[in-house]
Amino acid sequence: MLHEVADGVWVRRSEWVSSNTTVVRADDGLILVDPGIAGADLEDLADDVDALGIPVVAGFSTHPHWDHLLWHPRFGDVPRYGTAVNAGIAASARDRGRQMAAESAPGIPLDLLGIITPLPADGGPLPGELIVHDAHAPGHAAVLLADRRVLLAGDMLSDVLVPMFGMAGADGAGEYAAALDLLADAATGMDAVIPGHGTVATGGEIAPHRGRPCVRRRRAAGRATRGRALGSARVTIPPARGTAIATRAGCRGAP
């Protein structure tokens, strides 16, 4: 079942790793962000979307892990966007992604997995702004809906996932800490923060956490994405100073 967390922003949770699908109303219709997970979840999501009576005009994938590259024919033959880095990895690793999906979640339309198009420079139908970084996975994008006071964090800021460092051979911890700074700044003043997996934080559950976040900072943390060309990012938010997001429950598992 879809739950509306802000005007024109709905969330549906799957039992599979507490995965969240976010549905966003845009000017011309609905954007499905990271729809999933199993075939039954996708069918139920399609029923919920049909009940809204608003057409789906696009999909958006926050990053190129298989559980964020899914689709269902009932959503329609519409563009599915991500950063250019995401689209490239999704295409090159599609066979592996389909294998992992088949092993993990039944009933997924495997032929539709990983068909991602780079988001146009003007953002296309996607409202809000992108925050692009390489923590968790290369070309990862959060979506900031500032006018609705909502941050879609992708697979960051989760209370059920441990940190995953996405850049093999790079300073993964430093990249992760820098991304936390970007997201901390973005979450300031928001009414809801939606992770890809886990609990949606609302109201007083969203707070800056001064000092050391759950991921230890490294000297390389200052190497945040500041205007660097990563995919189709329309904005990169300057890093906050020594902050990360925490919920009232604390850092359960990972930020």
Domain segments of the chain as ranges:
3-246
* pTM for this predicted structure: 0.83
Q: Are 13 and 19 in contact (CB under 8 A)?
A: yes
Residues facing residue 133 across a β-bridge: 140
Q: Are 50 and 42 in contact (CB under 8 A)?
A: no
d(C-alpha 246, C-alpha 255), whole Å:
7
Structure tokens at 210: 């001064």
Residue with tokens 């003043």: 189
d(C-alpha 95, C-alpha 177), whole Å:
31
3-class DSSP state of 91: helix
Residue 81, H or E segment:
strand 80-82
Residue with tokens 């992992």: 100
Q: In Å, how far are 3, 64, 83, 101, 150 from 170, measured between CA atoms?
A: 38, 18, 20, 27, 31
Q: Are 136 and 164 in contact (CB under 8 A)?
A: yes
What residue ranges in 102-232 does DSSP mark as E strands? 117-118, 129-133, 140-145, 150-154, 192-195, 201-202, 207-210
Q: What is the CATH number of domain 3-246?
A: 3.60.15.10
Q: Are 175 and 218 in contact (CB under 8 A)?
A: no
pLDDT tens series, the chain, 255 aa? 999 999 999 999 999 999 999 999 999 999 999 999 999 999 999 999 999 999 999 999 999 999 999 999 999 999 999 999 999 999 999 999 999 999 999 999 999 999 999 999 999 999 999 999 999 999 999 999 999 999 999 999 999 988 877 554 567 888 888 899 999 999 999 999 999 999 999 988 886 543 333 323 332 333 333 323 233 233 333 333 222 332 222 333 333
- Cβ neighbours of 227 (radius 10 Å): 9
pLDDT at position 208? 54
Alpha-helical (H) ranges within 2-68 are: 39-52
Helices 94-104 and 84-92: crossing angle in degrees, nearest 10, is 80
d(C-alpha 104, C-alpha 38), whole Å:
8
